[in-house]
Amino acid sequence: MNNRQERFGLSPSDAAIQLDLIAKVRGVSSAEDFFVRLPNTFKDRRIYGALLNAYVRNRMREKAESLIDEMRDKDYVTHALPYNVMMTLYMNINEYDKVDLMISEMNEKNIKLDIYSYNIWLSSCGLQGSADKMEQVFEQMKLDRSINPNWTTFSTMATMYIKMGKFERAEDCLRRVESRITGRDRIPYHYLLSLYGNVGNKEEVYRVWNIYKSIFPSIPNLGYHAMISSLARMDDIEGAEKIYEEWLSIKTSYDPRIANLLMAAFVYQGNLDKAESFFDHMLEEGGKPNSHTWEILAQGHISERRTSEALSCLKEAFATPGSKSWKPNPANVSSFFKLCEEEADVASKEALESFLRQSGHLKDKAYALLLGMAVTGDELSKKEERTEQIDDNEENDDENGSEMLVSQLQGSL
């Protein structure tokens, strides 16, 4: 490493970027090897921060906590960023009390909270079900002259109010989101469409959609996804199909995630035949089914008590390119196992269990519990799986404000 530094003039900043890339491409173990090979005198807060971010991205709690303790000893934890990174970890594993501890430590050490710190704190309070505490944090935020609440602040609060059933307060926050959109940023419109859909305000969904289309000459697939998803949630399937036809006429490539939304809506309505017909249409349009596509069909077959067909679809889901980033909905797995037990179909149950084992999913608590396996040990994921029936679970950021905050923070690093 010393020779490489001298030959290429590698700076600590370059090394931090390289470590981050290694972690993403080759995995955390390779990033750790890279870190170890660096001279101790070369390891500054940026390099430690890159390794911390790699641990947090992979939800390695013990290693992240050990590393930040080491960073504290080296006086590298003197600004908001490492605290924000740790708070994203605790948000991801649903340990919101640890977010409060991070905020307390920052206050005790007179470390100023930045906009990310406040937004994560707001989300944590909301996910604990405390509107009062969330509003207290917002009041504190307004008193901080270095902070200007942004659209993310209000979309986060709107998300939390929706979870609490406080729709009027949510809509007030959504109006504030709209007033804070600046420049050519499309993302706020996607959140407005999704959140107004969650509130069930169809009129506002269409109003925002028309404004969005009037400002931008073209709408990306994510925009159409947000619109169709919202209409499907409000049972406006006719409207969703019209938007789909509009997208079909202007698309540059076929995005199966958009088709999945309509297929999932048809399955939810109990119309498996229409879902299968739509699947055939997707193939005719050149679309390539992803793992979620096959899982949606499997869910429909499970509802129709077609064990063999459901298993065939699940097999395709596990075999589809990109399946490593997919996890079957535990509710669907549970329903399939229950159907197998009722039909005394041991072979099909064992087949799905084999797929789960081969894909490594049995290391996840959600699946291990379904098979009565022990769930102790650090290798088991503590993240709770969501079990929504309509929404295709590959695109559910609007369901959890913390996911948006985590994504934005990691994008800023």
Using an 8 Å Cβ cutoff, are 74 and 48 in contact?
A: yes
Range of the domain at 226: 186-252
pLDDT of residue 365: 82
Q: pLDDT tens-digit profile of 195-246?
A: 999 999 999 999 999 999 999 999 999 999 999 999 999 999 999 999 999 9
Domain final position from 46, 63, 78: 78
Does residue 163 form part of some domain? no
The answer to whether residue 40 sits within a structural domain is yes
Number of domains within the chain = 2
- Of 78, 109, 143, which residue constitutes the final position of a domain? 78
Is 294 a member of any domain?
A: no
Residue-level pLDDT at 375: 46
Residue 372: inside a domain: no
Give the model confidence (pLDDT) of 71-128 as tens digits: 999 999 999 999 999 999 999 999 999 999 999 999 999 999 999 999 999 999 999 9
Written as tens digits, the pLDDT of the chain (413 aa) is 444 444 446 788 899 999 999 999 999 999 999 999 999 888 999 999 999 999 999 999 999 999 999 999 999 999 999 999 999 999 999 999 999 999 999 999 999 999 999 999 999 999 999 999 999 999 999 999 999 999 999 999 999 999 999 999 999 999 999 999 988 899 999 999 999 999 999 999 999 999 999 999 999 999 999 999 999 999 999 999 999 999 999 999 999 999 999 999 999 999 999 999 999 999 999 999 999 999 999 999 999 999 999 999 999 999 999 998 899 999 999 999 999 999 999 999 999 999 999 999 888 888 888 877 644 444 443 333 333 333 444 544 444 454 555 455 544 44
- The answer to whether position 386 is within a domain reads no
Secondary structure of the chain as H, E, C letters: CHHHHHHHCCCHHHHHHHHHHHHHHCCHHHHHHHHHHCCHHHCCHHHHHHHHHHHHHCCCHHHHHHHHHHHHHCCCCCCHHHHHHHHHHHHHCCCHHHHHHHHHHHHHCCCCCCHHHHHHHHHHHHHCCCHHHHHHHHHHHHHCCCCCCCHHHHHHHHHHHHHHCCHHHHHHHHHHHHHCCCCCCCHHHHHHHHHHHHHCCHHHHHHHHHHHHHHCCCCCHHHHHHHHHHHHHCCCHHHHHHHHHHHHHHCCCCCHHHHHHHHHHHHHCCCHHHHHHHHHHHHHCCCCCCHHHHHHHHHHHHHCCCHHHHHHHHHHHHHCCCHHHCCCCHHHHHHHHHHHHHCCCHHHHHHHHHHHHHCCHHHEHHHHHHCCCCCCCCCCECCCCCCCCCCCCCCCHHHCHHHHHHHHHHHHC
User: Is 58 a domain residue?
Assistant: yes
Q: For residue 408, what pLDDT is reported?
A: 52
Other C-beta atoms closer than 10 Å to the C-beta of 132 total 8
pTM of the entire predicted model: 0.84
- Could you tell me the two tokens for 101? 């501890």
pLDDT at 32 (0 to 100)? 96
- Does some domain include residue 18? yes
How far the first Cα of the chain sits from its last, in Å, is 24
Best CA proximity match to 237, nearest among 202, 185, 280, 209 = 202
CB 291 within 8 A of CB 322: yes
Q: Is residue 63 one of the residues assigned to a domain? A: yes
Q: What is the pLDDT of residue 71?
A: 97
pLDDT of residue 379: 42
Q: Final residue of a domain: which of 217, 232, 252?
A: 252
